[in-house]
Structure 1
Amino acid sequence: MLDAQRITQALTGSAAELGLQAEVASLRPDFQLHLYEQLPSTNETAWQLIDQGSGAGTVVIAARQTAGRGQWGRTWVSPPGGLYLSLVLEPELPLPQSFLLTLTSAWGIATSLTNLGAPIQIKWPNDLVSQQRKVGGILTESRLVKSPTAGDAPQLQQVVVGVGLNWDNPLPDNAISVRELWPEPSVPRVKTLEALAAIALRGILQGLYYWQQQGNAAFVNAYTQKLAHQGKTVTVDGHTARVEGVSLQGELIVSVQHEGKNFVRSLKPGEIRLGYNY
């Protein structure tokens, strides 16, 4: 079972300890921790706490999930030893920008771990990868509130960001643990699961803060620099294509070769499956 006091202490660490940019490390967010030995799903419990009156900063962590959720309704296998957490946000964003929250969360955590010496890339849109193997994943779920002004777009009311990271759990062949990524495994920069939880939580907020301060274009450029498939060849509808980057709406931009010509396409999640051989 994780220790709440050790997580709270780790959350107050320095920029160097958490892999944060200095301006983000100076912020002191208020987290309300809820730790469990076992849950069906940390996201599910986070929504239950919201319905009971909990708000932004609510954190749910489970040592094990029995019905963890991944993208597209997939099951996230969550045996003991991994990190499984959910964070509640209240970002007040228009609906068209909601998908970028998945990207900001992935970028923020990847940036923190990379700053700590663990080489992390992002497999668009939501997987953290290293050495062509999966390190973890992000699942964001949201609720909307209608704008009080007629004709205005609905706003995001609450968002739950779910994170799963491999640490000391059994791994499938296409996965790798954060613990294996340091050049000197005997001297890891992150020593405990509690420290990893703090890095993930502060990393999520780092990505959101960077996006809010720098804007869509600067954030998407930073995200693209961590994209594992950037410049790689993929297949789209049976045709050879090249990954060119990500749009300001978070869609994957590819140039498709067809009948001797190149056509640029923007793909939404679910329109293409990216593998781990890149």
Structure 2
Amino acid sequence: MDTRRALLAALEEGPVAGPALAEELDVSRAAVWKAVESLREEGFAVASTNEGYVAPARLGYSAAGIEFGLDAPYAVEYHERVSSTNDRARELATEGADRVAVVADEQVGGRGRLNREWVAPSGGVWVSVATRPDVSPARVPLFTLAAAIAMTDACREAGVDAHIKWPNDVLVGREDGDSDENEETREDPPSSASSASAASSASSASAPIGRGGRKLAGVLTEMEGEADRVSWLIAGMGINADIDASDLPAGATSLRAELDGPVDRRRVAATLLERFAALTETADGLDRVLPAWRERASTLGRRVRVETATDSIVGTAVDVVSPGALVIDTGEGERRVHAGDCEHLRDAEE
């Protein structure tokens, strides 16, 4: 642990004197002072008192602010403005980095799933986690589901009753009144709920009317590896957090809009990282992903239509099975779908 992170950890317990910290870490007092100044330059207003250094009463949205009290093994790299958090995370991963969370206030370029264009304005929580997991490529889809779970929990802790539409769309509302089976698609503008390369499928340019709710968040997972190993994996997660409703396109919403008030983005980001780590950085974490996903999903038990690259499948979603395939009862048997755009339907007689 570097001096800066050690100082953050020490400040969690209250005031800490510089000499005591220098002795504990076996560094010079100058190194401690340098770490304090680095935190202050970032906006983490460490105060000097007679008892020692004290953390600020209000923690800003910054690397130090997010890392303070964070129960997850990630170093945070923060940017006010970046083209794409996924792109930056990929740069770090190819250089050998592990367990790094790239966070941005605003993203200005990039792509979502299927190279769709996404926007991510200031006020959102745009995070891409770069890791080097010791798993086979076949298990990588579980990381995408874990990201959806983490985002849902972060939204719920903030006070919004979010749910997941297969495979990884985090939505709010409209669980009981979705589209009729004969409804057509409409042209929607890109949604800021999916960041430019830090989230996917928030609201595509041809999104179905019956998306199953207003979009809060989305995921884009990328990886590099071989047949039997993963070299690196990036989980890009984007949440419309402290964004005004007037800045959102049709079909999208934000935590601020749902709560009718400001949102503590630092806490949302920290919860997101902690829940993601609990499912991907622990011995039994991935084994808990599917049960946790089922508990938070609004798709299961619903009549759905899934558009795949080659087919349109209509039926009742009855389960999700490893590594994230949706099981659909078509009335003529069960189909397993590994990828596609899912639409919640209403039965015609309803």
Deviations 1:183-238 (A, max 9, x none): xx56x8xx42222211111121123257x42664x532321221121111123555
* Pairing 1:73-88 to 2, within 5 Å after superposition: 73-88=115-130
1:92 is paired with a residue whose SS is coil
Q: Does 1:108 align with 2:179?
A: no
- The match for 1:193 is 265
- Identity over aligned pairs, percent: 27
CA distance in 2, matches of 1:250, 1:100: 6
How far residue 181 of structure 1 moved from its aligned partner, in angstroms, is 4.1
Q: Does 1:275 align with 2:343?
A: yes
CA contact (8 A) 1:107 1:207 kept: no
- The match for 1:250 is 324
Deviations 1:42-73 (A, max 9, x none): 01011112233322x21211221122332222
* Pairing 1:9-20 to 2, within 5 Å after superposition: 9=68, 11-12=69-70
Cα distance change on mapping 1:74 and 1:124 into 2, 3 Å: same
Bigger mean CA offset, 196-205 vs 39-48: 196-205
CA distance in 1, matches of 2:235, 2:286: 20
CA distance in 2, matches of 1:208, 1:43: 18
CA distance in 1, matches of 2:242, 2:154: 19
Q: Does 1:35 align with 2:105?
A: no
* Pairing 1:114-153 to 2, within 5 Å after superposition: 114-115=156-157, 117-131=159-173, 132-145=213-226, 153=227
2:300 is paired with a residue whose SS is coil
Contiguous gaps of at least 5 residues in structure 2:
1-59, 174-212
Query: What amino acid maps onto 1:46 in structure 2?
Result: A
Deviations 1:78-114 (A, max 9, x none): 1111111111112111111111110012113323433
2:72 is paired with a residue whose SS is coil
CA distance in 2, matches of 1:106, 1:88: 16
CA radius of gyration, larger in = 2
Query: TM-score, normalization: structure 2?
Result: 0.63
- The match for 1:266 is 336
Query: What amino acid maps onto 2:83 in structure 1?
Result: P
CA contact (8 A) 1:122 1:128 kept: yes
1:54 is paired with a residue whose SS is coil
* Pairing 1:86-105 to 2, within 5 Å after superposition: 86-105=128-147
Q: Which has the higher contact order (CA 8 A, sep 6+)?
A: 1
Pairwise CA RMSD: 2.4
CA distance in 1, matches of 2:104, 2:279: 23
CA distance in 2, matches of 1:227, 1:247: 13
2:231 is paired with a residue whose SS is strand
CA contact (8 A) 1:81 1:168 kept: yes
- The match for 1:157 is 231
Query: What amino acid maps onto 2:342 in structure 1?
Result: L
Q: Does 1:177 align with 2:245?
A: no
How far residue 116 of structure 1 moved from its aligned partner, in angstroms, is 5.1
